[in-house]
């Protein structure tokens, strides 16, 4: 029996509708939530992602702006731009699109953004709040989106054995922290695995919930999945496909066709976690505007 497909696109649309309704109430008070994105260089994937964010903001009734800077922009100039946005009361959310050119210290940039406008949830203050369970933290969009998929799909994590594959500061570590928090979408017993983990498939097979964010196409197969487990695939990878119009197709970190025959529920790629990321950035921007108002 094939796994239940967790439709992240539909859940993202539901969240964006909720955001649009709350945004309309703020706009009626004369407050227009504003997300400003800093884009340094011409990375094609970043350009596509930023355009998607801008479009989603406008559909939600928010203001959105992109400041595009050349790849050779000095670090000091980028930091000065952030300072001006921090001081601009009309800007509620600031997001610096990654990756940055190698001559710019990404950590220095993330620390410069006002934590009250850090809608990516990457500032150390928001990271610390997340670890402490402080509800005022801005949560990183992808892990928060995964938690929403679980909640809105009525998948209980209470007491579940969860395995997170990947230890990045963007997905893996904050995901583990969210799953540990008390309440819906949390209360799990969490193991974090990574590239140095021994006998990874055996550990993954113990999971009731498996979150895979390793960045390698079809990294995990059916041999790493417990029958009936919930599998969340965070990966977005291009693989060659001469039958596709563009010569490639997008796949996840999980071998979807094989795993769906074993798992109880699974997110597809595309159409799963990816759409949730933008929805949660919008939600964070709205929260920032409400708090600043």
Is 124 inside any structural domain? no
Is 27 inside any structural domain? no
- Residue 173 shares a structural domain with residue 80: no
Instruction: Give the contacts of 275 (CB within 8 A, at least 6 positions apart).
Output: 8, 9, 12, 13
- Residue 66 shares a structural domain with residue 110: yes
Strand partners, 209: 162, 230
CB distance 250 to 270 below 8 Å: yes
Is 250 inside any structural domain? yes
- pLDDT above 70 (res 111): yes
Q: Is 147 a catalytic residue?
A: no
Is 284 inside any structural domain? no
In this prediction, residue 45 carries a pLDDT of 79
- Residue 154 shares a structural domain with residue 236: yes
CB distance 274 to 144 below 8 Å: no
Judged by average pLDDT, the poorest of 24-38, 216-230, 240-254 is 240-254
- Residue 180 shares a structural domain with residue 106: no
Helices and strands of the chain, counted as H and E runs: 10, 11
The residue-averaged pLDDT of 116-123 equals 97
d(CA 142, CA 140): 6
Last residue of a domain, one of 77, 100, 116: 116
- Residue 207 shares a structural domain with residue 265: yes
- Residue 173 shares a structural domain with residue 101: no
Span 162-198, pLDDT tens digits: 999 999 999 999 999 999 999 999 999 999 999 899 9
The pairing of beta strand 230-233 with beta strand 209-212: parallel
Q: Is 292 a catalytic residue?
A: no
- Residue 91 shares a structural domain with residue 216: no
End-to-end, the C-alpha distance of the chain in Å comes to 51
- Residue 165 shares a structural domain with residue 249: yes
d(CA 115, CA 133): 16
Q: Please tell me the total count of domains within the chain.
A: 2
Using pLDDT thresholds of 50, 70 and 90, give the confidence band for residue 230.
very high
Q: Domain range for residue 232?
A: 140-273
- Residue 96 shares a structural domain with residue 163: no
Q: Is the dihedral of CA 181, 185, 191, 196 positive or negative?
A: negative
- pLDDT above 70 (res 135): yes
- pLDDT above 70 (res 244): yes
One of 16, 53, 117, 253 is an active-site residue; which one?
Answer: 53
Using pLDDT thresholds of 50, 70 and 90, give the confidence band for residue 46.
confident
Domain CATH number, residue 189: 3.40.50.720
DSSP assigned state of 222: G
Q: How many angstroms separate the Cα of 181 from the Cα of each of 39, 73, 104, 115, 152? A: 33, 40, 34, 21, 17
Is 191 inside any structural domain? yes
d(CA 236, CA 276): 13
pTM score of the predicted model: 0.95
Residue of 292, 293, 288 whose CA lies nearest to 19:
288
- Residue 38 shares a structural domain with residue 82: yes
Domain CATH number, residue 39: 3.40.50.10860
In this prediction, residue 1 carries a pLDDT of 63
Q: Is 53 a catalytic residue?
A: yes
CB distance 201 to 208 below 8 Å: no
One of 7, 114, 118, 120 is an active-site residue; which one?
Answer: 120
Is 47 inside any structural domain? yes
- Residue 149 shares a structural domain with residue 111: no
Structure tokens of 139?
A: 């949560």
DSSP assigned state of 255: -
The residue-averaged pLDDT of 40-47 equals 87
One of 97, 147, 226, 283 is an active-site residue; which one?
Answer: 97
- Residue 259 shares a structural domain with residue 198: yes
């Amino acid at each position: 029996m094939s796994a239940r497909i967790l439709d992240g696109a539909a859940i993202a649309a539901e969240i964006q509708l909720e955001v649009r309704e709350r945004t309309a109430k703020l706009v009626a008070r004369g407050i227009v939530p504003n997300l400003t994105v800093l884009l340094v260089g011409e990375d094609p994937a970043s350009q596509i992602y930023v355009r998607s964010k801008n479009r989603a903001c406008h559909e939600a009734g928010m203001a959105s702006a992109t400041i595009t800077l050349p790849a050779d922009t000095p670090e000091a100039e980028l930091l000065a731009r952030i300072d001006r946005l921090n001081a601009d009361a009309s800007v509620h959310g600031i997001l610096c699109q990654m990756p940055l050119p190698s001559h710019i210290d990404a950590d220095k940039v993330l620390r410069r953004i006002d934590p009250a406008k850090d809608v990516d949830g990457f500032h150390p203050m928001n990271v610390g709040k997340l670890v402490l369970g402080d509800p005022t933290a801005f949560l990183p969009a992808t892990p928060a989106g995964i938690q929403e998929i679980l909640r809105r799909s009525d998948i209980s994590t209470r007491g579940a054995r969860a395995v997170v594959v990947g230890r990045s500061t963007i997905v893996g570590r904050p995901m583990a922290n969210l799953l540990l928090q008390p309440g819906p979408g949390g209360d799990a017993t969490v193991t974090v695995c990574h590239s140095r983990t021994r006998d990874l498939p055996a550990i993954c097979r113990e999971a009731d919930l498996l979150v895979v964010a390793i960045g390698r196409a079809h990294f995990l197969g059916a041999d790493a999945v417990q029958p009936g487990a919930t599998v969340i695939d965070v990966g977005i990878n291009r693989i060659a496909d001469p039958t596709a119009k563009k010569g490639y197709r997008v796949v996840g970190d999980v071998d979807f066709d094989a795993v769906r025959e074993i798992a109880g529920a699974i997110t597809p790629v595309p159409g799963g976690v990816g759409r949730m990321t933008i929805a949660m950035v919008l939600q964070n921007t709205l929260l920032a505007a409400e708090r600043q108002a």
